[in-house]
Structure 1
């Protein structure tokens, strides 16, 4: 048993260290291949919106902004909807309806991203252009200062559409994890709260959410990681333009969509290095976001432990 335990410990330790080694190798490889672009452009690579393969001028600002904006739109739409789905399944839906709805949510997560992109381009984009965008432009577009964000041509492909498609893609992940987390809340806690006269909403807000906040945030971060790196669905509906606009209804691009569109056509060391530099920046952005999420979870866990003590 002693040798078996030691072998098991060494094996698991090897696999854990192997993951860190693979991440370090990937980061080092990307940094090495991206160095020519960083050396040639310097900090201007991060601050410039110009992307012209003919003149060999490249800047990462537009795809970086597009990546962050589309992910933010996805989270603003996806988080409330996911919470609503999870709460409906665990707290409101009758028993006979919970399994079919939960299975449907899980099936949505299994749909390939290219199918979402095709649906977004051929079905959602025309519907959005004809019915939703005019309404948003007339209402939200009339608000002073921020109205320019919701003004733009009705062309069907835009940063907002990409964010909306991303929201549909991340909803199954966040909803499934949130549902599983809500299911672990002890029934005695909820029944005690109901017995004290709390309403259903008060039980959800004061009992369910505080008990599961660590797991809920973990599910949200998983969905955010999916949104940051999504490629094919975004490429179909974002318009793939390197111009930077204030309006969400204008075409744009993301780091992933730029790589998907141009990597096979890259000619020359500087062009290829600039694209790899975009991949390096996406890696760094993802690591920063997930590290921040981990720090937030650790802080919540410490606060939760202090309250229990």
Structure 2
């Protein structure tokens, strides 16, 4: 029988029965389960850190801080040495494209407009030539080449980076320029009338001392960097993804297009930006190939002129005066900033690719 919510069983025991009026909605309420405390990755939390670990950590942190300090010190030095010369400059430093007149240090005239244009133009031209070739070599070495070919061919490509810049300069002017002279003349005569890139510039097309020749040589110089970085990234493509694509009936090219290229695109862009940074700072080869000129730059592949680095190298005899040297150091400061911008754009591009892939 039931009495006041208590029911007596046949054995005389009492069992409490909940009152339906006080049962609420009938939903079971459970106490919240506490979240587990995440484990710390700091080894010092669970015991004494060994002396070797402390030394290694200090050296690693010190190395990172040292790099930042050195870069900041270089930037400060360039700015400090450039300010006195900029104060005596009578022209707009960023917009003046005329001749550098530093003979009278009390009234100097110099600017970086032509230097910036020539530097960017020849570097981008070289990058456009080197990128597709480097991509093709990396794809071949990682997906098509037999094992007996991969080693020797990779070694030969890497060997290009060991050739000194002066050798590239001499080879470009005295060997490559005569070989490509018919092609340069044909491009100038056929396309120069309606496409400004191949129009007659401020240098002799037949002479070879133009951006056209310099860009090809520069492309050969940066090819090993782009190829090496791209090849190393392509090799890291997960084997499971490749085998899955093959299991679905994909051809070798479809595997490259659907797995290898998407996975390694960020590395390919990083390698290209490293190559661009190398091209922006190239000095001796471009100093030998590019002809100096007093005429304005016209955005033609058959123009000549100076880049930042070659202009500074050509005026080394004027560095005995702080104001004359300061004018070229100011140009070096712009090149220093330009490389930072290029690296920042490369990192932003790689980060964007990683986010889109995830």
* TM-score, normalised via structure 1 length: 0.91
CA gap of 1:82–1:148, structure 2 versus 1, over 3 A, is closer
- Return the offset for 1:199: 3.1
Q: Secondary structure at the match of 2:249?
A: coil
2:53 corresponds to 1:2: no
Cα deviation, residue 252, structure 1:
1.2
1:151 to 200, 210, 214: 200
**Runs of at least 5 residues in structure 2 that lack an aligned partner in the other structure:** 1-47
Please say if residues 242 and 253 of structure 1, whose CA atoms lie closer than 8 Å, have aligned partners that are also in contact.
no
Q: CA deviation at 1:270?
A: 3.3
1:252 aligns with 2:300: no
Q: Residue 59 of structure 2: which of 11, 15, 26 is its match?
A: 11
The one of 3, 10, 22 aligned to 2:70: 22
Which residue in the other structure is 1:68 paired with?
Answer: 120
Equivalent position of 2:32 in the other structure:
none
Is residue 2:348 matched to residue 1:295? yes
Unaligned runs of 5+ in 1: none
Deviations 1:66-101 (A, max 9, x none): 110111011100000100111111112222111111
Summarize deviations over 1:249-282 as a string: whole Å, max 9, x none.
1211100000111122346443221101011010
In the TM superposition, residue 187 of structure 1 has moved relative to its aligned partner by 2.9
Residue matched to 2:152: 100
Matched, 1:273 2:326: yes
Cα distance, 1:6 vs. partner? Answer: 2.6
Structure 2 counterpart SS, 1:44: coil
Would the aligned equivalents of 2:91 and 2:110 in 1 still touch at CA under 8 Å?
A: no
1:283 aligned residue = 336
Contact 1:49 1:243 in 2 (8 A): no
Aligned length in residues: 302
CA change 1:244–1:201 in 2 (3 A) is: farther
Aligned-partner SS, 2:265? helix
Deviates more, 1:292-301 or 1:65-74: 292-301
- Residue in structure 1 matched with residue 263 of structure 2 by the alignment: 211
Give the drift of 1:42: 7.5
| Cα root mean square deviation, aligned | 1.9
1:7-66 Cα distance to aligned partner (Å, 9 max, x none)? 322221111101100110100000010112333337711101112334632111111111
Aligned-pair CA distance for 1:125: 1.4
Contact residue 97 and residue 296 of structure 2 kept, 8 A = yes
- Residues 195/286 of structure 1: CA separation in 2 closer, same or farther (3 Å cut): same
Q: Select 2:247's aligned residue among 178, 186, 195.
A: 195
Alpha-carbon deviation of 1:137? 1.8
Decide whether aligned partners of structure 1 residues 43 and 284 sit closer, same or farther in structure 2, where only a CA change above 3 A counts.
Answer: farther
Bigger radius of gyration: 2
Contact 1:71 1:228 in 2 (8 A): yes
1:3 deviates by 4.1
1:35-74 matches, within 5 Å, as: 35-41=83-89, 44-53=92-101, 54=103, 56-74=108-126
CA distance in 1, matches of 2:254, 2:185: 38
1:229-249: CA deviation from partner (whole Å, max 9, x where unpaired) = 011111111113353332221
Distance in 1 between the 2:307 and 2:165 partners?
16
Greater RCO (Cα-Cα under 8 Å, separation 6 or more):
1
The 1:40/1:89 distance shift into structure 2, 3 A limit, reads: same
Q: 192-201 vs 84-93, which deviates more?
A: 192-201
Question: When you count helix as a share of all residues, which structure comes out higher?
Answer: 1
CA contact 2:192–2:198 (8 Å) conserved in 1? yes
Question: For 1:203-248, what per-residue CA distance to the aligned partner results, in whole angstroms no more than 9, with x for missing partners?
Answer: 2222111111222211111111111101111111111335333222
